[in-house]
Chain A
């Protein structure tokens, strides 16, 4: 049996941190993606411009640089804000920018940009006849979105969503660099202390492999369900 030299529980806790981080970032990125896609498809020039700037900026910068900027920069910004509030209103306001929040915000923001592109394509794939029919039935804009667009768009969005999720899962490993005790961090400390790198990193690699393989199966199952009733060509 695998002997983890007493690091087993810590690695387990780290794995849970990784999973929490991944799911919270996914939720944030889906929300940002929906907003971004709606902005890109809206009539408003300003909304379009903001969404396009957002996706272009994010896709040009490495995730690690973004993370370092948010983590170190976020703390400096909070310090400046708390100094200002203290001087202006004499209210003691401070909070520590922790790696977990920085990680969720950064990964959410990065993948929000990718989700924006995925959802934009999926919204465009919904036939216009469907929207016209909804309008003819007297649906409001919100109703059309919730009852017609969203359910039909999901089918087209699933493959891209699944891909983004797989990449997101692997990106969570980076948060160990800014000091979050996820499983990568625990493995690194254990490997250094025990001088056994293979012994600790390879099990962690297999946890990631299990997570990506499991998600792959789940996404396939979802895809099958979402496509029930669609006649597939060739």
Chain B
């Protein structure tokens, strides 16, 4: 380590081992929350997107309503409704669910999952709807039934088309997770807010986490670019 950095680290009161550990714990909480909500959200979104493309309005209608409601309102309101609302449900405090939802982590996870699932459903639906007709005709000509067509032709081809929009959703979710700090979760932003109020040092506290988020964002962007290159290899120009 260069001497001037070591000297600076020795002199300052804010970036001590204690606060660095707080930031680290916050980062782990953020990643934990974002990763879980994205994975569960994706698992929920795939079947919902398929239901959303069904012609019967009694099947696609409710899914449309769900995505419309969750995409048309701010995530903060959804979080408040779930966080404050769950505790008000009659009798919940006597059931075992209360053990789970008493921690702010799980209401936040629920809100984030429902929100990202709504956006992801629409992304996947768009990709499914834009499947070239010829691919489906070819699958039918091979005698594939609906289920096999979905599994072997439509979904893999849709996944390729959805990956770019989905990478935006992942980054959006990482950034949106900062509001978890509002319901007393000590995530990366929560750690910064604690350290700000202890030292009254807004620049040190918030610029540092801004850099952390930026680093996470760039890692994600890079990873998705690699993934896209891999998935869309067949579309690359021959001498490109």
With A65-B209, A174-B179, A209-B73 as known contacts, state yes or no: A198 contacts B80, CB within 8 Å: no
What's the A-B contact tally at a CB cutoff of 8 Å?
111
| Contact B76–A173 (Cβ < 8 Å) | yes
Decide: A57 and B214 in contact? CB cutoff 8 A. Answer: yes
**Cβ contact within 8 Å between A197 and B196:** no
**Shortest distance between the CB of B74 and any CB in chain A (Å):** 4
B168-191 near A? 1/0 per residue, CB < 8 Å: 000100111111011000000100
Interface residues of A in 53-94 (CB under 8 A from B): 57, 59-66, 68-69, 72-73, 75-76
Specify the chain A residue showing the minimal Cβ separation from B216. Answer: A60
Find out whether the CB atom of A63 lies under 8 angstroms from the CB atom of B175: yes
Q: Nearest-CB distance from B88 to chain A (Å)? A: 6
| CB neighbours of A212 from chain B (8 A) | 72-73
Q: Is B59 engaged at the interface, CB distance under 8 Å to the other chain?
A: no
Q: What residue of chain B has the Cβ atom nearest to residue A69's Cβ? A: B206
- Which B residue's beta carbon lies closest to that of A211? B72
- Do B196 and A60 touch across chains, with their CB atoms under 8 A apart? no
Q: Chain A, 96-111, contact with B by CB distance < 8 Å: what is the 0/1 string?
A: 0000000000000000
User: Least Cβ distance of A163 to chain B in Å?
Assistant: 11
| A residues less than 8 Å from B178 (CB atoms) | 62-65
Instruction: Pick 18 A–B contacts, CB within 8 A, sort by A.
Output: A61-B214, A62-B176, A64-B181, A65-B189, A68-B189, A72-B196, A73-B203, A171-B74, A173-B77, A177-B179, A184-B80, A187-B80, A195-B88, A202-B81, A205-B77, A208-B72, A208-B73, A212-B72
The interface of chain B, by Cβ under 8 A from chain A, is: 69, 72-78, 80-81, 84-85, 88, 171, 174-179, 181-182, 189, 192-193, 196, 200, 202-203, 206-207, 209-210, 213-214, 217-218
